[in-house]
Amino acid sequence: MPNLKDLKNRIESVKSTRKITKAMQMVAAAKLRRAQESAEASRPYAARFNAVMAGLAASVGGSDSAPKLLRGTGSDDVHLLVVMTAERGLCGGFNSNIAKLARAKAYELQAKGKTVKILTVGKKGRDAIKREYGDLFVGHIDLSEVKRLGYTNAQDIAKDILSRFDGGEFDVATIFYSKFVNVVTQIPTAQQIIPASFEETEGDDSGAIFDYEPSEEAILADLLPKGVATAIFSALLENGASEQGARMSAMDNATRNAGEMIDKLTIQFNRSRQAVITNELIEIISGAEAL
């Protein structure tokens, strides 16, 4: 049984931990608002961009004149999985859930006889899947020095992926990230970006209303690389909001758990202290009676 000094030191240690988790919760809450606004602001643009691209892709179809980014290589033997996670931990299951989805996809593809390559964005995702699929890594993009994510960061990642595609390193590319819903809900998501896949929304009549000049193929050839960068940028923004929401929730739980532990340790300390006092009184009374 720990003595009073050990209990007192442990109570002070847990109190210090609670101060840290509370501070981290407040910092995450402050960052969450800005990250959430950025993620939500990007959604209408991304949705409209995809709607226009869907109309263009539908008019071009699978013709030989369609850009390579749209029609693909004609094969799906080699898959590139772009796992996008955070550079820091202490955010609950945010990083592990994305890594889990990527591992499941890699296992599924390998079971079908496909070749899998992995490009990681963020240190935590790389650490999470390195043990099982470290031999499949083809690159890593470090964003730890970036203070605030911008479109240029997405462009750099897109250039890396597009250069690999042009070099014939893979046939299909899929990005993995977490879509922000609210503070307690973030949905791990897999999105194919190469070959480009667009879902035409209901009521979208862009192909019936507009005539494009130059041709649809020329427009797609120019916009598809921007579409890859846009998808990556949206994923980075969603990840940013999801990370802060998950960290805020995790630190809130940690703060509450620390408070409960302090209460239990305080009760244990008081009981031990009372037992010591009682023993001392018994010794004094016994000594007095002996006299």
- 44: Cβ contacts below 8 Å, ≥ 6 apart: none
**What ranges do the domains of the chain cover?**
39-247
E strand or H helix at 112:
none
Mean pLDDT in residue range 40-48: 87
Look at residue 118 in the predicted model and tell me its pLDDT.
Answer: 93
Alpha-carbon distances of 29 from 55, 186, 190, 205, rounded to whole Å? 40, 16, 27, 41
Per residue in 221-235, pLDDT (tens digit) is 888 888 899 999 999
In the predicted structure, residue 206 carries a pLDDT above the cut 50: no
Report, as an integer, the average pLDDT of 77-95. Answer: 91
Query: Which distant-in-sequence residues (6+ apart) come within 8 Å of 105 by Cβ?
Result: 81, 174, 176, 190
Q: Taking the model in full, what pTM does it have?
A: 0.84
Mean pLDDT of 149-154: 88
With contact defined as beta carbons under 8 Å apart, do 142 and 123 qualify? yes
Check: CATH 3.40.50.300 for 39-247? Answer: no
**pLDDT one-digit tens code per residue, 243-271:** 999 999 999 999 999 999 999 999 988 98
Q: Which amino acid is at 163?
A: S
Report the chain's mean pLDDT, rounded to a whole number. 86
Nearest alpha-carbon partner for 176 in 116, 134, 238, 131: 238
Residues 6 or more apart from 222 whose CB is under 8 A from it? none
Question: Are 125 and 102 spatial neighbours (Cβ–Cβ below 8 Å)?
Answer: yes
**Cα 151 to Cα 232: distance, rounded to the nearest angstrom:** 9
Active site residues: 91
Per-residue pLDDT band for 147 (boundaries 50, 70, 90) equals confident
